[in-house]
Structure 1
Amino acid sequence: MEGKDPSPGSSDCQVPRSQSSGSTAGFRSAAETRRPGEIRRRDDTSTPTPLQREPCKTRPAFELCAKGGHGNYMERLPSEIILKIFSFLDASSLFNISFVNKRFHDLANSNALWSVLYASEIEKKMWRPPVSMIKEAVSSTVVEEKPAGYWKKLLLREMAGYKDTMWKTELKHMNPHTGMPALTEHVLRRLDIQWEITLTNRHGRESVYKQTHTFFEDSSVTVCWSQGAWPHMCTLNSLQLHGIMCPASPAPGDKPRWRSLIRKTALQRTGHWLFFGADRLVKVLQFDKGIIIGLWRGNWKIAFIMVNLHFHKLIERSLLGSRYCPYIPADDNEVDPDCSRHGYTLHIVLHNPVRQIMCQRFSPLYTRRVMPQRELVQLIAIDFANVSEHMPVAKISLPWQAEGLKGEVERCCMMTLTVLDEAQRPFWCVSSTVKMYSRQRVLDLEYEGEQFIVLHEDAEGKVKMTFVWMEEVQHYFLVQLVTVFPSAKVKRHFSGEC
């Protein structure tokens, strides 16, 4: 049967219905279907094909590589070519690329690469040693003899801008009153060491703040941050404290400053925050290891941040750590086990970012066993029963300043405590904020006045102080000071019996 002719209004490219086998009558010729004036195409005489063709599909490059067996091109490169590429990187890029994978780590730590970078760094110094000296220091024979990572450590120390032999020698001179290095403040100022905090919000965004004020004590330094565009406390996840070297007049071509992580503190709210104190304008939150954060009342926005840092290994912690890992000091060995029987020294300072409140040294102090099971030992510096040991203390408060406003949180301050053994080695070092809690007649004393207790406790020990407020003289009296340690800590320190 013949196929029906298309209707006059139908399209020319309409596909006719299927016909019986061998019949071609249903297909109209190209000449019949071509409209008047239409240009004839070259393929009009060819065998007709379906007009709707399947579009060409393009395959992603990674599928072609996977099916072709190519894989990762970097993994197929020889080590010699990768080393040649790495030779064009600077020290910072070479250090970062070593964290990509194990192969990059091994190649990026090659002594051949770092020895060349070390030689170029030495040539930039003002004192410029002879060229023969540099070539001898990084000759191929010497490079191969050194252990892996040797030239990398030398270069990183050189880039950090300090010499171990200089400041370590200065820190050997001890202050007989505090037991800490006497020139700590001098070395910190000479090396232009400052501290920065990095606040990280819940989305991983970081904000860096520079210090605005420092207050040095005999055995600690209080660092304050009170300027900048502060975020809301509820949006933060963590706080990082880094030590950096900040020259007073940096040159335009100076390298990025070395950042040494001192501590990292979690700030997210898991329950109710513990408020340390408050006044009419701010509320103060306390976190671990001497970190306090002031919040404006009503909007939970940060007003200021303060950190109290103990002098013990402070320069090492501010220089020798990395951006992500803090410096861990080595344990002091060769301690005489009999030192625990000879007495301890306790040095305590109560202060704030403006002034010193109290500074006392107690020596010698002897340990006493504490029940139950005699697992604790205590040092009694001031006994409430001995009136001659009681001492007056000035007003205890925590002044603050932010955005042109000033305030003062009552009955709060900072405590720096150092316990030394007989050999004047640090046994326990504490830098923390403390708060006075009112108690109703904790001790039976002859003094008439309200009693307050100051407590600090961590995994290493516990400090308890009792104060009495004397209204007549407008002063506090310290009537008790006791320090308690686990006996296991004493055994570990002296490697023997306490």
Structure 2
Amino acid sequence: SISSLSHQSMPSEILLKIFAYLDAVNLLCVGCVNRRFYHLASDNFIWVRIYSTAFSPKRSNWKVNSVEKTAVSVNLLSLEDKEAGYWKKEYIVKQIASVKATVARLLKPVNPYTGLPVKIKEALRVSGLGWVIILRDKSGKEYITEHVRLSVNDTSVSVVWYGKNWPHLATLSTLDLCGVTPVFMDRYKSPTKTGPRWRSLIARYSLSDLTETTLMGCDGLIQVFCLSPGLLVGLWKRDEELAFVMANLHLHQLMERSTLGSATTPYELPPHSPFLDDAPEYGLHGYQLHVDLHSGDISYLCGTFHNLFSKKEYIENGYVKLVVISFDNNTQHVPLIGKVGLSWRTNIFEGCIKSCSVMDVTLLDDSGKPFWCFSSPVCMRPSTSPCDTCDFLGQRYCVDYVDSEGRVHLDLVWIEETKEYFVVNLALYLSVAKINHWFGTE
């Protein structure tokens, strides 16, 4: 390394010779040292060699040595009349475009059951995508935390953060959830956290009144709260301080939301082009639902339901009802696998919040396009609503989810003899406003 005393007096020619041995990521890092280093690390001759190595057509003539190759590349990529930093900018633009094109190709094949990309794991690897949370205190100071672990499920990604030295909850105002991608990716190397990265804001949450929001559940050590959309915050019960944060991200347009926003503004979906409804008088028909109840790698329910429909007369209080599993049809009732609970872990302790889990819903329209998608923590609670059409021998429970686009209601019965839950009713309530927007109707 070069000491702060010696590099000031070192000739520019020597520094350029040293910089010529660096790769693109290290050159950009060196350029952040001071103004002199920035200009020297933007040298066109250095960057044109990096550009030509990465993007020029590969030559099969083994007799041409590296010096001659560089000379040929420099001749092809003229340095004349180019402002300082031109080839650095060209390299960055083309490198980003190359990664985006590769990711776009990977996202094209679609799973017919979920309507989501099949090669999402490979797309995540190629892009180097990760997620951070930014805790911001009331004075504006930021604490950036890298995710500790993640699990990729059928239709969502669960991302977890925890640590020892988080700021006091009482001092915090907001939490930003951001996707982060390295500006440069090398397919043969793991993405680095020290190089330049692009940050895309996914959602911003208020922490000021966290303990007054919906309490999902608790165990002997922690209590967990849900913040919409899809964020679970665990607090130590003894002192009400942060224990962990879990984000549940549905795979539908996850790459876009995690890479195409800015550090301050979330990605905006392109304007929706309404789909023509060939028979609006018959209501909805041919819909398909994929639903998961899970806790990270543990799945309690995973099923796909085809040919769902709803008639126009099913509209009530601004919602259209889609019955997926009916009380009256015993053949539709399905068991949950295992004891439902949301597993959590920190660097010190671990545990499980009984009756809590993560629900992933992916509803496809009659053309196989994702119509309504979400991933969110939910909680199973004792049911208090009467049921005149069913007579089950066992304690009844329900799970409810609500957002601006619809509601999900799920009824379960605990069967003591077999020690398992059975799903005896599952219904979706779709907002009429959402349907009208989707089809361009009134």
| TM-score bucket (shorter structure) | 0.7 to 0.9
- What is the CA–CA distance in structure 1 between the aligned matches of 2:227 and 2:346, rounded to whole Å? 20
Instruction: Pick closer, same or farther for the CA change 1:297–1:335 going to 2, 3 Å.
Output: same
- Give the corresponding residue for 1:455: 400
SS state of the match for residue 375, structure 2?
A: strand
Code of the residue aligned with 1:316 in structure 2: it is: E
Letter in 2 for 1:359: C
Taking a change above 3 Å as real, the CA distance of residues 380 and 128 of structure 1, as seen in their structure-2 partners, is closer
RMSD: 3.3
Task: Give the TM-score of the pair, scaled to structure 1.
Answer: 0.69
Alpha-carbon deviation of 1:160? 4.5
The CA deviation at 1:392 is 0.5
> What is the DSSP-based 3-state SS (H/G/I as helix, E as strand, rest coil) of the residue aligned with 1:315?
helix
Counterpart for residue 392 of structure 1: 335
> Per the alignment, do residues 204 and 365 of structure 1 end up closer, same or farther by CA in structure 2, a change over 3 Å counting?
same
Deviations 1:290-324 (A, max 9, x none): 10111111111111110100001111122221111
User: Which residue number corresponds to residue 162 of structure 2?
Assistant: 226
Corresponding residue to 1:290 among 219, 225, 230 = 230
The separation in 1 between residues aligned to 2:138 and 2:306, in whole angstroms, is: 48
Aligned match for 1:469, one of 414, 417, 428: 414
Q: CA deviation at 1:403?
A: 2.6
Displacement of 1:370 after TM fit? 5.8
> SS in structure 2 opposite 1:322?
coil
Give the C-alpha shift of residue 124 in structure 1. Answer: 2.4
Q: In structure 2, do the counterparts of structure 1 residues 399 and 374 end up closer, same or farther at CA, with 3 Å as the change threshold?
A: closer
| TM-aligned CA deviation for residue 238 of structure 1 | 0.6
Consecutive unaligned residues of structure 1, counting only runs of 5 or more, are 1-89, 95-115, 144-150
Q: Which amino acid aligns with 1:486?
A: S
Question: Which amino acid letter does the alignment assign opposite residue 167 of structure 1?
Answer: V
Q: Aligned residue for 1:375?
A: 318
- Is the contact made by 2:211 and 2:225 (CA closer than 8 Å) also made in structure 1? no
CA distance in 2, matches of 1:251, 1:486: 43
Aligned-pair CA distance for 1:342: 3.9
Following superposition, the deviation at residue 155 of structure 1 comes to: 6.8
Percent identity for Structure 1 against Structure 2: 32
Q: Which has the higher contact order (CA 8 A, sep 6+)?
A: 2
* Counterpart contact for 1:160–1:258, Cα < 8 Å: no
> Which residue identity does 1:461 align to in structure 2?
G
Where 1:330 maps in the other structure, the secondary structure is coil
Structure-2 separation of matches of 1:250 and 1:207:
21
Query: What residue in structure 2 maps to residue 493 of structure 1?
Result: 438
The aligned counterpart of 2:21 is none
Matched, 1:238 2:174: yes
**Partner of residue 405 from structure 1, selected from 342, 349, 364:** 349
Deviation per residue, 1:69-126 (Å, 9 max, x gap): xxxxxxxxxxxxxxxxxxxxx999x9xxxxxxxxxxxxxxxxxxxxx99997665243
- How many residues are matched? 379
Name the structure 1 match of 2:112. 176
> Alignment partner for residue 124 of structure 2, among 188, 193, 201?
188
Alignment of 1:134-145 (within 5 A): 134-135=77-78
The answer for unaligned runs of 5 or more in structure 2 is 1-26, 32-41, 57-72
> How is 1:91-240 mapped onto 2 (pairs within 5 angstroms)?
123-125=49-51, 126-127=53-54, 129=56, 130-131=73-74, 133-135=76-78, 157-158=93-94, 160=96, 162-240=98-176
Contact 2:408 2:429 in 1 (8 A): yes
**Alpha-carbon separation, structure 2, partners of 1:426 and 1:156:** 34
Quick one: distance in 1 between partners of 2:309 and 2:228?
Answer: 29
Deviations 1:395-427 (A, max 9, x none): 211011113211110010001101111111111
Instruction: Normalising by structure 2, report the TM-score.
Output: 0.77
1:396 aligned partner, one-letter code: V
Secondary structure at the counterpart of residue 127 of structure 1 = helix
How many angstroms does 1:261 deviate by?
1.2
Say if 2:103 and 2:126, in contact at 8 Å, map to a contact too: no
Which deviates further from its counterpart, 123-132 or 383-392? 123-132
2:118 and 2:223 map into 1 onto residues whose CA distance is: 36
Single out whichever of 193-202 and 442-451 deviates more from structure 2: 442-451
Which of the two has higher C-alpha Rg? 1
